[in-house]
Structure 1
Amino acid sequence: MGVLTGRTALVTGASRGIGRGIAERLGRDGARVAVHYGRSEAAAKETVAAIEEAGGSAFAIGAELGRPGDAEALWAEFDRHADGLDILVNNAGIGSARPIKEITEEEYDQVFAVNVKAPFFLVQHGIRRLRDGGRIINISSGLARTALMPDNIAYAMTKGALDVFSRDLSKVLGPRGITVNSVAPGIIDTDNTAPMLHGTEGGWARAAAFSALGGVGSPAEVADVVAFLASDAGRWVTGSWVDATGGSLP
């Protein structure tokens, strides 16, 4: 019996990268996992298959975030498969590496719509589905606390907003025994970071140099932190910002 047996989890943006790592870990711990995807149904089904092959239970739900009515659409899909929720991981996000002088108003609005507005309204519409004693875990970024990559300014701003959301929401939902925390990865080896890590000479070494541990993180290492917060062992941690950057902050 896994530590999360009998619980239902929803991980947004779980078809690849950090989200897939989190979904697979929660599945191994016994949770039934809703694998959310925005556009790639095939990739989400691969995540579901991986969870099931490891002995877990999962289902895919599709809803493109950042559009009007996205939260309602996602929960309508979720309700077709489950009648309640114990763990919500707001992982889905997009970023812009364009400097302030180049980013357009449309790009700015979109990154805030996906990274800030969507989690807010997913929680608003999901509160009645979230059982007492549940967990909300928002995936932030080390860039919310450091200016190491200032061209990611709009993205970093969204993660700062998400951290405030975690902090204040923990007070709102605390009376129900629901914990709310932010987990902040650093540079993680995913398809999003592949051009930086693998596509340029010396890219991996430069990224590893940021970390006090001298390495680049993996999705599994972020998932381990999320799994702790999702479990009973994390029951007394709420309103916190958990540094999962491998010691990359100054």
Structure 2
Amino acid sequence: MTDLAQNLRAVRDRIDAAARAAGRDPATVALLAVSKTWPAADVRALAGLGQSDFGENRAQELVGKAAELADLPVRWHFIGQLQRNKAAAVARLGAVVHSVDRTSLAQALSRAGEAAERAVEVFLQVDLGGPEGELGARGGVDPAELPALADAVAGLPGIRLRGLMAVAPRGADPRPAFDRAGELAARLRADHPEAVEFSAGMSGDLEEAVAAGATLVRVGTALSGRRPLTSRGDTGVTPVTRASGAPG
């Protein structure tokens, strides 16, 4: 069994165990493989193992990788901070956008969705703050402003509101933050019944996220090993070396 196959099985086993520990059906938690900085060959290999959803955080890399893998039946997700001038390129790929945190971005995506004649599926990213609770550390909308943003997004014609996305603060116990995000996700569903998804949890904290109700976990390091050193240029991220080792 290849390293990728072993890692994929290990991650899926972790998700299943976390779901059962929380009294949930493992089938209610999906895996999003974070493929940023890795070559298209890794995506192709994981797709061959049955993985269907992949996440990128740079528009240029997403566009290039999607073109190279156009023959695969995979679903792309954009998980980074998205600039409005990149919205159309992401929307044309049918990518799910996880990081909508302001009305202006939602409006740009709505226009792109209308132009593509296909609604853009989006998550609203909520800011859970840093270790001391300060906002702005990981991106997202202030929780107090989430209801107004949700109402604005739900009213746009070229968008479909899919749910809430959150990232735990660095250097702190993730469980309280995820519990808070889970409460916000429940309130969002109550106001907008179509927003049924809760995207939270990464390689190091997926168990806490699943316990808090996450329906989608975003895992990269635990699948492909530690990220390679990269050189950043105007066209995106180019891997320089491939690291191997145990999941992070």
Common topology (TM > 0.5) = no
The structure carrying a bigger helix percent of its residues is 1
